[in-house]
Amino acid sequence: MKILIISLPRTGSTSLMNNLSKEYGLKPIFEPFTKFDNPTYNGEDNVVVKTIICHHPNNIELIKQFDKIILLSRKNLKELLESHSYQTYFSKINGYNSNNPYVYTSPPDDVIKLCDLDINKWILDIQLLSDLTKIPITYYEDIFDINSKNRLRIKNDLKSII
């Protein structure tokens, strides 16, 4: 089985990838289409690949290589912007790791504005991808228990997602 997660950043996609990997015994491949030193994806089977909507130059062609596709976004755009701008700014100045909890401190306004522009573009991109492929968008709030202190706790059976 080959599962592809195409997501906006800060939507729980890494946690979802890791949970699907464990549940189905698949190799997790984290963001292979970036310029960073991440694992590569070479078309192999038995994988769950997680990528961000803007990382691959042709998501429609990428989708054709997979059995199951999850398009992942977030309904609460205020929290998405806060999380993304926090990560964008603080990972650069103090090495914040995006998988660690944090207490929100507002980054500079120019960072928030740039992140807001990116997020709005990516929301349109994932909606267009959904419209073109007829793959529904799954939302963070629908699969994660947002009332839990441990917000990475999946509240639904993973089989309902794929």
Residue 67's contacts (CB-CB under 8 Å, 6 or more residues apart) are 1, 2, 3
CATH number, domain 2-160, options 2.60.40.290, 3.40.50.300, 3.40.50.12780, 3.50.50.60: 3.40.50.300
Q: What is the DSSP letter of 77?
A: H
Sequence ranges of the domains in the chain: 2-160
What are 94's two structure tokens? 């103090």
Distance separating alpha carbons of residues 112 and 148, to the nearest angstrom: 27
Residues in the chain: 162
Distance separating alpha carbons of residues 150 and 5, to the nearest angstrom: 22
162 residues of the chain, pLDDT tens digit each: 999 999 999 999 999 999 999 999 999 999 999 877 888 999 999 999 999 999 999 999 999 999 999 999 999 999 999 988 988 888 767 665 666 666 777 888 999 999 999 999 999 999 999 999 999 999 998 888 767 655 556 655 666 676
Q: What is the helix (H) or strand (E) element at residue 91, kind and residue range?
A: helix 77-94
Q: What is the pTM of this model?
A: 0.87
User: What distances in angstroms separate CA 25 from CA 3, 129, 133, one per listed residue?
Assistant: 12, 28, 27
Q: What is the DSSP letter of 45?
A: S
